[in-house]
Structure 1
């Protein structure tokens, strides 16, 4: 049966993409299923449709997804292809040229990814010196204890707390620009697989206000958790809350049967803070991304 391509048509396709990510997952692979859920629902969306400048396509063989491309903008896309089907990577790259009218196009893949040959053949070139992400791994058997932070407590959220949970995330990222995460977006996120409210943790101050948060996604097929995202509101920083709430979530992750955790902070020297935080918790670097770019002018 030939490989077939179809355009994104709703939550079932996201779930199929997550199935490929789960099937291929290692600490060095591009996507964890939770990352795809976050990328889809970090802002309010039409579950059945995409933004005007966005495109997603899936390639299937006999009902099994063997690759997908996600053009988040006309000049930027990401892809994942089954390493056993390298020919699909060329089809994904050709598809992006069809849907993009940008004069300069960029793609983000893992270093050594099966798609690199297809990108090179299409005229893309690697830019390893640009900002990149480093996948870090932590064996949950080596988890340090959750530190006591005077004046604060930690707990997982409840299903009815989407508004407050969205608010603490938005406040935590306010210094880098307005967040698109609101109550509606968080309700959609909470309805997406593999979200679990018992793996969504917050730190509360003496007034019982959420001031820091850490969301962990569990892929039960591998017993692998992804930390994405973590934040602390600016006025409560410097107390170790981001690390402590992350550890609280990771201890719950271990309790529900996971064995390993992953996080993917920036790895370049221009944004070193998150990487230092996670390494202090015991995470160790495993693999990095590389941006590939071509100009069509």
Structure 2
């Protein structure tokens, strides 16, 4: 097995190919999630920041696992269950790279290879911490769009990265300023598997974007990931987040998608998105939980 450290966008594509090959309703990643996580903030596509590291592992020319240290205290990883030894190597790599005294990893419950590797390294699940829950929806069961007087829904134009970034930032800056800006959203729009026909916004009577929903279609599986969704504060409470998501999902079905996935918080401290998706018909499949360890 060979370790390959990040050297540019092609490595991200290898990671996305692994996520697509392994996808199931209970697997950790969808290719769109990896694209969003890489490009939602301004970055150099060819280089990582000093506080970030990515490596992937190949066996016979095929990627069988990767580790993404989004920061010294935060590890994301996925491995092919047929190669559990890759999980051990990912965790060892993270141990060598990180000097953080408190470290956390996100794991799908039941991912035996990853759980065993983390447990052996001293990580333990944190059942009282916030967690996420995968939900899926068969697109044959989509409901019609609701009535939303005063608003219309449309897909984003290929040159609208500026206003599209603005509506996202306005919706996601309640606690701290969003990292999304026009340059980063332009990178999102240039990333595989982004399609502008699946990036939807709600607009008010003046044409201003006030809510948004981005869906990533993996052509290899027919699964569309909803990531992210938001509504600006002044227009909340009118069902726009759910309606714009439904509009994007109808477009997904028209593009040949068969299943939709979303991963909202599953704990009771942040219940609203989960309730919105449940009303649409999304059903829970697997929990994504925190594992952590202290080296202090």
Matched, 1:65 2:63: yes
Deviation of 1:295 after TM superposition, in Å, equals: 1.5
Whole-Å Cα distance in 2 between the matches of residues 223 and 84 of structure 1?
Answer: 23
Matching residue within 30, 38, 41 for 1:40: 38
Moved over 2 A (4+): none
Whole-Å Cα distance in 2 between the matches of residues 85 and 185 of structure 1?
Answer: 35
Matched, 1:199 2:176: no
Equivalent residue, structure 1, for 2:281: 282
Deviation of 1:176 after TM superposition, in Å, equals: 2.4
Equivalent residue, structure 1, for 2:132: 133
Unaligned runs of 5+ in 2: none
Q: Name which of structure 1's ranges 170-179 and 18-27 shifts more when overlaid on structure 2.
A: 170-179
Determine helix, strand or coil for the equivalent of 1:31.
Answer: coil
* Deviations 1:100-146 (CA, angstroms, capped at 9, x unpaired): 00111111110011200011111111112210000000000000001
Equivalent residue, structure 1, for 2:162: 163
Equivalent residue, structure 2, for 1:87: 85
Deviation of 1:53 after TM superposition, in Å, equals: 0.5
Whole-Å Cα distance in 2 between the matches of residues 61 and 271 of structure 1?
Answer: 40
Unaligned runs of 5+ in 1: none
Determine helix, strand or coil for the equivalent of 1:93.
Answer: helix
Deviation of 1:290 after TM superposition, in Å, equals: 1.5
* 1:118-157 alignment runs, 5 A limit: 118-157=117-156
Deviation of 1:57 after TM superposition, in Å, equals: 0.4
Whole-Å Cα distance in 2 between the matches of residues 159 and 270 of structure 1?
Answer: 37
* Deviations 1:155-211 (CA, angstroms, capped at 9, x unpaired): 000101000000000001121210111110011111100000000000000000000
Matched, 1:29 2:24: no
What's the TM-score, normalizing by structure 1? 0.98
Whole-Å Cα distance in 2 between the matches of residues 220 and 5 of structure 1?
Answer: 27
Whole-Å Cα distance in 2 between the matches of residues 173 and 292 of structure 1?
Answer: 26
Whole-Å Cα distance in 2 between the matches of residues 27 and 191 of structure 1?
Answer: 27
* Deviations 1:49-97 (CA, angstroms, capped at 9, x unpaired): 1111000000011211000000011111010000000011000000000
Whole-Å Cα distance in 2 between the matches of residues 23 and 176 of structure 1?
Answer: 36
Determine helix, strand or coil for the equivalent of 1:261.
Answer: strand
Q: Give the aligned length.
A: 295
Determine helix, strand or coil for the equivalent of 2:174.
Answer: helix
Determine helix, strand or coil for the equivalent of 2:225.
Answer: strand
Whole-Å Cα distance in 1 between the matches of residues 175 and 229 of structure 2?
Answer: 14
Equivalent residue, structure 1, for 2:291: 292
Equivalent residue, structure 2, for 1:96: 94
Whole-Å Cα distance in 2 between the matches of residues 212 and 295 of structure 1?
Answer: 40
* 1:233-248 alignment runs, 5 A limit: 233-248=232-247
* Deviations 1:19-70 (CA, angstroms, capped at 9, x unpaired): 0000000111100000000000010100111111000000011211000000
Determine helix, strand or coil for the equivalent of 1:207.
Answer: coil
Matched, 1:110 2:134: no
Whole-Å Cα distance in 2 between the matches of residues 104 and 6 of structure 1?
Answer: 26
Whole-Å Cα distance in 2 between the matches of residues 275 and 73 of structure 1?
Answer: 27
What's the TM-score, normalizing by structure 2? 0.99
Determine helix, strand or coil for the equivalent of 2:103.
Answer: strand
Deviation of 1:213 after TM superposition, in Å, equals: 0.2
Whole-Å Cα distance in 2 between the matches of residues 273 and 51 of structure 1?
Answer: 34
Determine helix, strand or coil for the equivalent of 2:162.
Answer: helix
